[in-house]
Amino acid sequence: KATKAATPERMIRRMAAVEPTFATLKRLLNKGRFTCWGLSSASSEYSLGVLSYNLMRAINVLGVKGMLARLT
């Protein structure tokens, strides 16, 4: 598998695609600070944050009616 070299143009595209997602997750997760102690608890909290982000994105793309139609 050939890997592509990191060029400035590729890095700009990657940042534009990835940074908004992590910024939203950081906002959802209390500015990046976990509210619980322990690795397993923090992992669970992060997973819930990712799940809420994915649900929010699905609702934004499909709309509430489209999301409910796909869930039934």
User: Which amino acid would we find at residue 23?
Assistant: A
Q: What pTM does this model have? A: 0.67
| Structural domain contains residue 36 | yes
In whole angstroms, give the CA distance from residue 53 to residue 32: 14
In whole angstroms, give the CA distance from residue 3 to residue 31: 34
Q: Which domain holds residue 42?
A: 8-69
- Is residue 1 very low, low, confident or very high in pLDDT (cuts 50, 70, 90)? low
Number of structural domains (the chain) is 1
Q: Which residues of 15-34 are buried (b: 16+ CB within 10 A; e: fewer)?
A: eeeeeeeeeeeeebbeeeeb
**Residue 2 predicted with pLDDT over 70:** no
| Structural domain contains residue 20 | yes
List, for residues 9-68, the tens digit of each pLDDT value. 888 888 888 888 888 888 877 777 888 889 999 899 889 888 988 999 999 999 999 999
Q: Which pLDDT belongs to residue 65?
A: 93
